[in-house]
């Protein structure tokens, strides 16, 4: 082997070994102290939660299932988040392209004439015009000696993975909001139904009193008192109807449709979704793997760590290779003759020896950004655990409250029925009847709200657990990349 070949092989080997060097810290996933189990849980609740990806099916409500399917496709927040994935995939592609050389094709033509007698340029005293034809390739390539490009790619990959987790968290949020708003609507409808049924009973009672007054068996004051109670309860109708309209409009926005289109999407009659009496929530370690906002915070930390190395690489020399090859001639017919070839190639080294401490300041800044990212990650973990514990406690209390109000409504019905009978027999007065009637209305209204609260508490639990997304799934508008794990 000739000496020049040996030198070339040795030089290539040195370049490859140097290009494998990456300055800056290598990322290590953070270790956060977390409890073995949540507060307010018994051993049975440490089992993995049921159907975390499709938790709303626990309600066994076909309308809610359909609403979820609509929102997953048409919700504007989800569509914006999906387009952000496309944006970050493109940014990752831009950064990754720095690994490869830039090759440009060039071609030019010029015609020049030197004035007669201009002897300042030897050989160009002839006033005749000259043609200049050039065609060729121009290439440049930065050799990643100290891992600047590799760290930049590593950071861009972390950013892309974080934005995917942001989309998943948007899916968690939107699905929880759809369920919550749907439950609000069904709760308000149940309250309206109870109010209207109570008003019908009151109207019959007022009519009965009017007949008794006309027959001389009761007083006008009794009629007026019952009519005033009826009017007072009827005044609740407009506010509750307006509330239902607002909730329906909010659901329409979540579905990406106008409120006028809700008649087709949401039947006017439906029961308040009923949650199961008990749920399992798993352990906090599962939460770190499942909640997208925690996963996003961890990926943001990884990207910030990589950027420390990217900043540190600016302190080291940069090696680039450049070359040109082409043909140049004063005659187009001779342009592509081998004798018209022109080329140049060689390495170049640049090293910023003094910059007033600018690069070190950039490193200090990025190290601070990384520490902030670590603190944000730890805060996200602690907040997530707290959300699970508080929502689980709220769920247990809401289910018990719902049971208590079932009993209260049954007792209120019985009290109202007996008081009516006693009044008709002349054993009690009108005030007792009106009081029993008001108690029944309040109990039925509270029961409807307790039913809604129990259902919403289940939604809150699964939202806190990060339920509502499927591993491996990406939005249809996003282009998958091999470097974007799911």
| Distance, CA of 80 to chain centre | 10
Mean pLDDT of 375-393: 94
Asked whether residue 385 is domain-assigned, the answer is yes
Asked whether residue 140 is domain-assigned, the answer is no
Asked whether residue 108 is domain-assigned, the answer is no
Do residues 435 and 376 touch, judged by C-beta distance below 8 A? no
Ranges assigned E (strand) in 33-160: 102-113, 129-143
Q: Is residue 179 packed enough to be buried (19+ CB in 10 Å), middle (13-18) or exposed (0-12)? A: buried
Asked whether residue 474 is domain-assigned, the answer is no
Asked whether residue 132 is domain-assigned, the answer is no
Asked whether residue 483 is domain-assigned, the answer is no
- Rounded CA separation 249/260 (Å): 9
pLDDT in tens, 431-447: 788 888 889 888 999 99
pLDDT in tens, 266-325: 887 789 999 988 888 888 888 888 999 999 999 999 999 999 999 999 999 999 999 999
Mean pLDDT of 185-204: 89
| Distance, CA of 305 to chain centre | 23
Asked whether residue 68 is domain-assigned, the answer is yes
Task: Return the CATH number at 38.
Answer: 1.20.1600.10
Report the number of distinct structural domains present in the chain: 1
Task: Break the chain down into helix, strand, coil percent, rounded to 5.
Answer: 65, 10, 25
- Which of 7-11, 86-90, 198-202, 420-424 is predicted least confidently? 7-11
Asked whether residue 461 is domain-assigned, the answer is yes
Instruction: Output b/e per residue, 220-233; b: 16+ Cβ within 10 A.
Output: eebbebbbebbeeb
What's the predicted TM-score (pTM) here?
0.85
Do residues 131 and 332 touch, judged by C-beta distance below 8 A? yes
Under DSSP, the state recorded for 483 is T
- The domain of 44 spans 21-101+145-316+358-465
């Amino acid at each position: 082997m000739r000496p020049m070949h040996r030198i070339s092989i040795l030089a290539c080997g040195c370049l490859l070994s140097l290009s494998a060097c990456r300055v800056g810290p290598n990322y290590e996933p953070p270790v956060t102290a977390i409890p073995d189990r949540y507060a307010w849980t018994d051993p049975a609740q440490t089992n993995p939660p049921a159907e975390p990806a499709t938790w709303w099916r626990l309600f066994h409500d076909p309308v809610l299932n359909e609403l979820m399917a609509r929102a997953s496709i048409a919700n504007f927040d989800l569509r914006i988040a999906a387009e952000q994935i496309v944006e970050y995939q493109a940014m990752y592609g831009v950064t990754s392209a720095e690994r490869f050389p830039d090759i440009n094709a060039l071609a030019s033509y010029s015609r020049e004439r030197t004035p007669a007698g201009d002897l300042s340029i030897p050989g160009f005293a002839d006033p005749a015009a000259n043609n200049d034809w050039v065609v060729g390739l121009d290439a440049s390539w930065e050799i990643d000696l100290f891992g600047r490009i590799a760290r930049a790619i590593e950071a861009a990959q972390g950013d892309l993975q974080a934005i995917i987790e942001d989309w998943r968290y948007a899916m968690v949020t939107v699905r929880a909001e759809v369920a919550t708003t749907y439950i609000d609507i069904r709760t308000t409808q149940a309250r309206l139904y109870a109010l209207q049924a109570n008003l019908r009973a009151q109207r019959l009672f007022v009519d009965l009193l009017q007949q008794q007054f006309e027959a001389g068996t009761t007083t006008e004051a009794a009629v007026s008192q019952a009519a005033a109670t009826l009017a007072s309860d009827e005044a609740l109708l407009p506010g509750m109807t307006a509330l239902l309209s607002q909730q329906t409009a909010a659901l329409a926005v979540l579905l990406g449709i106008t409120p006028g289109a809700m008649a087709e999407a949401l039947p006017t009659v439906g029961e308040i979704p009923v949650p199961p009496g008990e749920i399992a929530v798993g352990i906090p370690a599962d939460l770190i793997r499942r909640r997208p906002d925690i996963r996003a915070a961890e990926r943001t930390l990884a990207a910030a760590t990589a950027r420390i190395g990217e900043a540190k690489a600016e302190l080291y020399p940069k090696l680039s290779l450049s070359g040109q090859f082409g043909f140049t001639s004063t005659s187009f017919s001779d342009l592509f003759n081998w004798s018209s070839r022109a080329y140049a190639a060689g390495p170049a080294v640049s090293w910023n020896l003094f910059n007033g401490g600018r690069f070190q300041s950039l490193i200090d800044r990025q190290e601070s950004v990384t520490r902030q990212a670590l603190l944000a990650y730890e805060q996200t973990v602690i907040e997530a655990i707290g959300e699970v514990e508080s929502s689980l406690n709220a769920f247990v209390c809401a289910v018990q409250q719902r049971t208590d109000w079932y009993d209260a409504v049954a007792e209120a019905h019985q009290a109202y029925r007996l008081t009516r009978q006693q009044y008709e027999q002349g054993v009690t007065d009108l005030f007792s009847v009106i009081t029993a009637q008001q108690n029944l209305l309040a109990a039925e209204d509270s029961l409807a709200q307790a039913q809604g609260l129990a259902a919403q508490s289940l939604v809150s639990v699964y939202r806190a657990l990060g339920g509502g997304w499927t591993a491996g799934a990406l939005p249809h508008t996003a282009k998958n990349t091999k470097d974007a794990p799911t």
